[in-house]
Structure 1
Amino acid sequence: MKKTICGVDVSKAKLDVCIEPGGRLASFNNDTAGIASLAAFCREHAVTLVVMEASGGYERRVFVELWEQGIGCALANARSVRRYAEAMGILEKTDRIDSSVIARFAHAKNLAPTALPSQAQQRLKALVTRLRQVTDDLTVQKQRRASMFDNTEMQASVDEVIALLKRQSRSLEGEIASMIDDDPLWAKLAETWREVKGVAGRTVGRLHAELPEIGILSNKAIAKLVGLAPIANDSGKRKGKRSIRGGRAGVRSILFLVAAIAARYDQSLADFRDRLVAAGKEKMVIRIALARKLLVRLNAKAREARAAYANAT
């Protein structure tokens, strides 16, 4: 039996929806009242799954509130949805068309519900996201101050902002550390990850917040999820150059940094890097390979930590 799927195109103010099969269209405000009306609309039409794109962040509220009202939801990759539309000859792009395409894409892919993160997971991700924003703002303010070397008045103004951002940064780091320490499993994972020199508190926080699947998926699957698995590009006898695509850019970027640091202290990582250098590999290829090797190691440690935690409880 074919599922009844509601595709939702999410914007800041509106939720444009389309139910397939049937092509029933509707529009709701992107607020609590509008989401409640959307839930009632889905129940009225016996919708089995609501699907929206994971883009922009505006989907988070409707995703969480629909789940809380007992409506199963899934997140679709926005780029995949767009390519599906083009493959189907749908070149036009409006909110209503997009909602229909999302529903049809979900049918074609037979999407399953995306699990709702726990309240703790949601809060941790929000804290980690805000810490990253504050860190970026702090870097910008320091750069601005450096360019004001001849204006002490403006330097004083920027210094006030820098001081505020530093206080917020320390506060956020403390909140993140407390959340991890208060959760037995998270604390166990953090402890085993910190055995790798170069992996500090911020990296631990990012892994917990942005890669909760670590230690659950296989090494190949986790590498592909993060975007550290080279994608084949072969055709017939041609062996094309493999490159990485997609994945979780935030996790990948911090693994690039941490892997380079870890290679200074870990002889096996250093030897691995040196072999790649001796083989004449490009710098970016070496960065990707090091980051993937570190991720695989962290994934293995997380798998062992999860098993030890499960046995202890």
Structure 2
Amino acid sequence: MNKIICGVDVSKEWLDAHVEPSGAAGRFRNDAAGIADLASWCQGHGVELVVMEASGGCERLAFLLLWELSLPCALVNARSVRRFAEAMGCLEKTDRIDAAMIARYAQAKRAQPSPPPSAAQQRLKALVARLGQVTGDLTVQKQRKSAAADAETVASLDEVIALLVRQSRRLEGEIASLIDDDPLWACLDRAFRSLKGVASRSVARLMAELPEIGILSNKAIVKLAGLAPIANDSGKRSGRRPVRGGRAGPRSLLFLIARIVAKYDPHLAAFHQRLQTAGKEKMVIRIALARKLLVILNAKARDARIEFANAT
């Protein structure tokens, strides 16, 4: 028997809701009061699961508050919902239509609740994201300084650079303290950094953006990071198997550090050499190295989690 599902289309100001199978629809403001009204409305319609798209952060408040109000929520991929709608012959797109399509997609997909991250996990993710922004701004300001010609401009850029350096150091300190204060995270940090070439900032990003590491199977974590080859065969044709989808942040990080780790780790270095000897393309080697590194890190995280569980 299908659950009673409420699909919610999220925008910056509004939450458009549609309940399946009853077809009830409503619109609520995307603020604390509006979300409370949405929760009461859903409970009045016997809703068992609220489903919304990941909408660049606009969904975050509703997602967290609905869980606090004892309404299980799930997040689904916006592109998948749009393709589902087109497959169902629905080419129109409005907020109300989108809410209905989200609810129907969730029913067809048998969507499951996505438990909210802990307060510590949310803070770690926010700190890591801000550190990335500061680092990016710092790189831009240094590039501007290298191109500056007059002393006044250089002095102005030096002030901005000094401010960004202070902020970067403060954020790095807060992230390190947050990880050290959590016994499990400290255990994972030691496990990851046992691989030479994996720096503390890389560990923080992995733990912030890929918290499932060490919990999922190797196959599942590789797919989650978008490093799994996608089959592309039909009849007698065996097509190239590209990688796509998944989480771009962890994937780009793994691309970066895999080549560094391969300089020090003999197993990864030998794997790299075998691929080169076989004449594989550079991008194929890059993807394979990142995937291999993720499998190694996932195994280390799994062992660390087991060790931590046995010690407590």
- Check if 1:298 corresponds to 2:278: no
Aligned to 1:187: 186
Partner of 2:7: 7
User: Residues 189 and 203 of structure 2 are in contact (CA less than 8 Å); yes or no, is this contact kept in structure 1?
Assistant: yes
Say yes or no: does 1:39 pair with 2:39. yes
Name the residue aligned to 1:257: 256
Counterpart residue number, 1:229: 228
Note if 1:55 corresponds to 2:52. Answer: no
- What is the match of residue 134 of structure 1? 134
Q: Compute the displacement of 1:225 (Å).
A: 0.6
Query: Displacement, 1:55?
Result: 2.5
Tell me the TM-score normalized by structure 1.
Answer: 0.98
Equivalence for 1:119:
119
Alignment partner, residue 172 of structure 1:
171
Indicate the percent of aligned positions where both proteins have the same amino acid: 69
The DSSP-based 3-state class of the residue aligned with 1:111 is: coil
Q: CA offsets per residue over residues 121-170 of structure 1, 9 Å max, x none? A: 1111111111111111112222222221x122122222222111111111
Q: Distance in 2 between matches of 1:156 and 1:34?
A: 48
- The AA in structure 1 aligned to 2:165 is K
What is the alpha-carbon distance in structure 1 between the residues aligned to residue 138 and residue 94 of structure 2?
A: 38
Structure 2 gap ranges (5+)? none
Question: Does 1:103 pair with 2:80?
Answer: no
Range 238-247 or range 54-63, more displaced: 54-63
C-alpha distance in 1, partners of 2:225/2:133? Answer: 21
Contact 2:85 2:91 in 1 (8 A): yes
Give deviations 1:171-191, integer Å, cap 9, x for gaps. 111111111111111100100
**Contact 2:11–2:55 (Cα < 8 Å) also in 1:** no
Distance apart, 1:92 and its partner CA? 1.1
Matched AA of 2:244: R
For the aligned residues, what is the CA RMSD?
Answer: 0.9
Q: Which residue of 1 aligns with 2:74?
A: 74
Q: C-alpha separation between the residues in 2 aligned to 1:25 and 1:91? A: 20
2:147 counterpart letter in structure 1: S
Instruction: Please list every run of 5 or more consecutive structure 1 residues that lacks an aligned counterpart in the other structure.
Output: none
Shift of residue 289, structure 1, vs aligned partner: 0.4
Q: Deviations over 1:52-100 (max 9, x none)?
A: 0113111111100110111100000111111111111111111111111
Deviation per CA, 1:195-237, whole angstroms, max 9, x where unpaired?
1011111111011111111111111111001011110100011
Number of equivalent positions: 312
Structure 1 counterpart SS, 2:38: helix
What letter corresponds to residue 4 of structure 2 in structure 1?
Answer: T
* SS of aligned partner of 2:198: coil
The residue matched to 1:286 in structure 2 has which SS? Answer: helix
Give the CA deviation at 1:267: 1.7
What one-letter code is carried by the residue in structure 2 that aligns with 1:160?
E
Take 2:292 and 2:246, find their aligned partners in 1: how far apart are those partners? Answer: 16
Question: What do the CA deviations read for 1:4-26 (whole angstroms, capped 9, x no partner)?
Answer: 11111111111111111122111
